[in-house]
Amino acid sequence: MKLVALAFTLLLGASLCAQGPATMGASEIRAGMKGYGRTVFQGGKIERFDFEVLGVQKNAAPGRSRIMVRASGGPLAETGILAGMSGSPCYIDGKLIGALSTGIAFEKEAIGGITPIAEMLDQLRDIAETAPSRTPLILPKLEPPKVLKSALTGQMLDFRALMGDPDPQALSMSIAGSALGAEVQRLWAGLPVTFAAAPVMSGSREEASPLEPGGMVAVTLMQGDLDLAAAGTITYVSGKRILLFGHQLFNLGPVDLPLWSATVASTVASYQSSFKMAMPVAPIGALRLDRSSGVAGLLGAEARMVPLRIGLNLGGKRTLNFRFEIMDHPVVTPALAATAVAQTLEAHTRGLGFQSLSMQGNIKLAGHPAIQIENVIADLNSLRMAQYVGGILQAVSFNPFERPVFEGISLTIKAEERLDLTGIAGVRLLKARAKRGEVLPVLVTLQNIQGVRETATFNIQVPSSAAKGKAILMVGDGFSLMAADPDERMIEVASLNDMVRILNGALRNNHAYALLVQAQPGAGLRGSRIEGIPPTVASLVGGDGASSDNRLQRRIVGRAVLPLEREVRGLSQLEVEIE
């Protein structure tokens, strides 16, 4: 990009060739020593603040130390340590000792912690010259079928379920940007992040702070019609390599994110946690590494983001188009996409009264068929629609077979001021016995929200291959049928192509389905399928929990579909005798 190259040339100049400063190790530091730090309090000007060492906290984490200091100068007497000062380089006798990285909530004095520079250099030395061509392959703590089943039921697993409980010593990362509602913030439950009250404002005419230690930068997670970024301070520059923050962003390891120069509009004093109101100015490079002791990037590099497009049709009266670019990483991409969907709907659709939302679209993957998106939500909970999208992205991101390359996500959502909701009020069979090879008529009573009922008929072909004896007729919407699956471990896939095929064949919540299933020893689908039956139905198998191949499993022997193009809810089961 020309803008990147221009910013790189004008702002860096000869400083890129400068060698890093002399350093001082934590073992050399004693209580009472005094020094100074560099940071931006206003605009783009780097200013000094003073500090006195209170002591060195050894083993703040295993093998890690923290230098505790009392700071003074600038606005710190009123604000305490400011969020956004993270990364501020600190010096004693002209030697760099580390980066200011922590503060204390509700503090009355500007007391904070410094991450020793040796720990930053140790964790951040291996910065990749080029970004990986594909997102990292990361497996959750759950078995992949559980993640897939969650997606097939329209759900999104939270970070605790996927990755386990966060480290209790992990510091929360402050994410600033467009204000997020309380419901949307729940999408991030289990990840150590907090959302700042103030926005990261773009389009500033202020001069960016210099790209040198103490300068202000912003790391972009999402940009476009919704902005989310983490702002902080440069600690160390050597050539085109740059170290920031003194603490993790998410501790994800290799990443690829846009890095912007920044300016500070104002500092905001808060009894809980004061912060800088940061404003990105121009792209300067890419963040490439995210570790517990800081983050690192390359000046002049370009980052790859995943394009997300949302078209919102408001009852056929007008259509709004939104464009986003989101971070490309398996852990965070689903949450960012779900956040964009939820915030778009909350900003432009109703919060009271009747409302139905219908979505269509696709997720494009390099080297694979596009994943087709289709969903209907008949209530005011926009988070359900967002979780549907996030759940599918989680299933793809956490596949154990290959690293997916997201080429783009395109969604069209239509909002109607009516409630397109149908419940399954009853199921009736004209006869309780059926012969192999004949058609079994099934009468289904549907009822809408106003209480109006209608009757529809399924005709299920009982195959000649069906076994004699009892069978179960299951009638319901796609999500309810998938949720009734007692053992998601029976979903078996062998490639990302299988995952895509399963997602594209998923049972939808805007159709009613009738499934005829039988229990047979050792007759589970085990990854195979009846011709014409979507592979997702392979998960409708039960077992006694034993590991033996002879355990009882339910096999689908017949299927019928009733497209309704409105949300369907409900599940009924009846017993049928096959002769």
Q: Which helix (H) or strand (E) holds 3?
A: helix 2-12
pLDDT tens figures, 456-496: 998 999 988 888 899 889 999 988 888 886 544 456 678 88
Q: Which amino acid appears at position 287 of this protein?
A: L
The pLDDT value given to residue 481: 87
Numbered ranges of CATH 3.10.20 in the chain: 306-416
Strand order across the beta sheet in which 571-578 lies: 433-434, 571-578, 469-477, 511-521, 552-563
The pLDDT value given to residue 324: 97
* 260 vs 520 pLDDT, higher one: 260
Q: How far is CA 291 from the centre of its chain?
A: 19
* 20 vs 185 pLDDT, higher one: 185
Q: In this model, does residue 41 exceed pLDDT 90? A: yes
Strand 567-569 with 571-578, pairing = unpaired
Mean per-residue pLDDT of the chain: 82
Q: In this model, does residue 544 exceed pLDDT 60? A: no
Region 390-410: what's the mean pLDDT? Answer: 91
The pLDDT value given to residue 315: 86
pLDDT tens figures, 57-106: 887 777 788 999 999 999 999 999 988 899 999 999 999 999 999 888 78
> In whole angstroms, what is the distance from residue 332 CA to residue 390 CA?
10
pLDDT tens figures, 95-123: 999 999 988 878 888 999 999 999 999 88
CB of 199 closer than 8 Å to CB of 178? yes
Cα→Cα distances 236→14, 23, 259, Å? 15, 11, 15
Q: Which helix (H) or strand (E) holds 393?
A: helix 382-397
Query: What is the value of pTM for the model shown?
Result: 0.82
The pLDDT value given to residue 524: 36
> In whole angstroms, what is the distance from residue 378 CA to residue 359 CA?
12
The pLDDT value given to residue 167: 57
Task: Report the candidate in 451, 419, 379, 423 with the shortest Cα–Cα distance to residue 568.
Answer: 423
> In whole angstroms, what is the distance from residue 362 CA to residue 320 CA?
18
Q: What is the CATH number of domain 306-416?
A: 3.10.20
> In whole angstroms, what is the distance from residue 223 CA to residue 229 CA?
8
CB of 296 closer than 8 Å to CB of 129? no
Instruction: Kindly tell me the sign of the dihedral angle through the C-alpha atoms of 279, 284, 285, 291.
Output: negative
For 4, the token pair is: 């990147």
